[in-house]
Structure 1
Amino acid sequence: MKKWAFVSDFDGTISKEDFYWLVIKKYFEEGHDLFKKWKAEELLDIEFLQTVFSSIHQEEVKIIEDIVSLQIDEAVPQFIRDVQRSGGDFYILSAGTDYYIQHILSHYGIENVDVISNKGYFHDNNIHLTLNENAPTYSKRYGIDKAKVIQQMKKEYETIYFFGDSEPDSHPAVYADVTFAKAALIAILKEKEVPFVPVNDFNEVREYLRLQNIF
């Protein structure tokens, strides 16, 4: 069994803004109303994202330009190297799509990171998702069931650290050994009485791990 892994959400945790908001603000004005319907639970998360990502209508070179303009937590590239140098594996676990995450990793020269997410591809000037309903980690609501992914990983690692920021992250937080929470996830986990470490960014996570002699 491997010693430990650090698993992070992407949108709003690694990135400072959800990619779907970038798309809505630049290309999909109707997305504001769609967002309200989603929050009112009239749409599943995956339905919301599929609609937004298929409403870009731009050449791929422009979409990639937009993706790499997405600001990330400045500490992330070094944090990932610190995890790997300290004997851990770093994973990104996202209910978005690997399409934009891989472009971000490439842009920052980040290597040896497994991305567990909904498969995405460029076609007809938009981003489309391929969902595998037969996958053991499939979720009808999110496309990918983050809790099941963490449960599977616990068979492989002695310790799982997890970091997230929003409602989908409350489900894997139940199974991680240590959960770091920021933004909306803090109140959600308090209400659910799930243990967590409140943080604002990756620098605070690094400090926690340093004090635990992990780094």
Structure 2
Amino acid sequence: MSQVSKPKTLVQCDFDGTITEEDVSFSILDAFANGDWRQLLAEHREGKISVGCFNQKAFAMVKASEQAMIELTRRKAKTRDGFQRLVNHCSRNGFRLVIVSNGLDFYIKEILGHVGIDDVEVFAARTEFHPDGIQVQYVDPNGNLLNDGFKEAYAKLFLGEGYRIIYVGNGVSDIGAAQLAAHIFACGELLRYCNKANIPCTPFDDLNDVVKGLQIL
């Protein structure tokens, strides 16, 4: 009798508010944006502008140096309990762990480096620093610029590569990609959406909860 092979498993994980306790981009905007970025956030949450459009407009208000923002993230950003354990669990079990985030690449890499994580794939907003503000771009797997659907684009890529996706997230921008997954771990706005829409998911408080859930899937 031939054995049925187990599917390849990929854990697609959000960053801000999922791996970190709070949204790092909001801390940067609070500290350095020269303008009413929260009005833009309200427009995004009301569905008037995409998350890509929000980040592009909001970070154009930031004139601070990259170093000043890195120093802020070192002081303020904290990863959720269990992050290292999640990385180790995925490595031991042959799961591909990928961070796909609407956050900015420079601070994600800084925070990962600060906690000693240098072997996790990251797909995030590409940033360039200019005197008149930060330029933010979202690039899909084919090299095309996007304003929306960044996380979904990568989830579809991973499905096309034959992976079973386990999704870990906390926000509204996770909804589309999460619905492509075989299983969802959710907190925050993503959890509220799943509960309201009767989408099966596993709630989590920290990433130890995710590891425990992965052990029984």
TM-score under structure 1 length normalisation:
0.85
**C-alpha separation in 1, matches of 2:80 and 2:109:** 16
Give the Cα separation in 1 of the matches to 2:196 and 2:52.
25
The answer as to 2:55 corresponding to 1:49 is: yes
Match of 1:88 among 87, 92, 95: 95
Q: Please tell me the residue identity of whatever aligns with 1:100.
A: Y
Please, which moves more after superposition, 175-184 or 34-43?
34-43
SS at match of 2:126: strand
CA contact (8 A) 1:15 1:71 kept: yes
Q: State the partner residue of 1:169.
A: 174
Answering whether residue 125 of structure 2 is matched by residue 118 of structure 1, we say yes
Using a 3 Å threshold, how does the CA distance of structure 1 residues 30 and 68 change in structure 2: closer, same or farther? same
Greater shift in the superposed pair: 153-162 or 177-186: 153-162
Which residue in the other structure is 1:17 paired with?
Answer: 22
CA shift in 2, pair 1:183/1:127, >3 Å: same
Kept in 1: contact 2:56–2:137 (CA 8 A)? no
One-letter amino acid of the structure 1 residue matched with residue 84 of structure 2: P
Residue aligning to 2:197: 192
Identity %: 24
CA pair 60-43 structure 1, distance change in 2 beyond 3 A: same
User: Which runs of structure 2 are paired with 1:19-34 in the superposition (5 Å)?
Assistant: 19-28=24-33, 30-34=36-40
The aligned counterpart of 1:130 is 137
Report the more deviating stretch, 72-81 or 198-207.
72-81
The equivalent of 1:35 in structure 2 is 41
Q: How many residues align?
A: 210
Deviations 1:134-157 (A, max 9, x none): 947754335x2x223212212334
Deviations 1:75-132 (A, max 9, x none): 2123212211221111001122222211111111102211122212333374321344
1:205–1:155 distance in 2 versus 1, CA, 3 Å: same
Give yes or no for contact 1:9–1:169 (8 Å, CA) kept in 2: yes
Letter in 2 for 1:161: I
Letter in 2 for 1:119: R
- The 2-side partners of 1:14 and 1:126 are apart by 27
Alignment match of 1:102 (pick from 89, 92, 109):
109
Give the unaligned 5+ runs of structure 1: none
Give the TM-score of the pair, scaled to structure 2. 0.84
- Structure 2, unmatched stretches of 5+, are 1-5
* Deviation of the 1:73 alpha carbon: 0.6
Change over 3 Å in CA distance of 1:78–1:30 after alignment to 2: same
Q: Give the letter for the 1:74 counterpart.
A: D
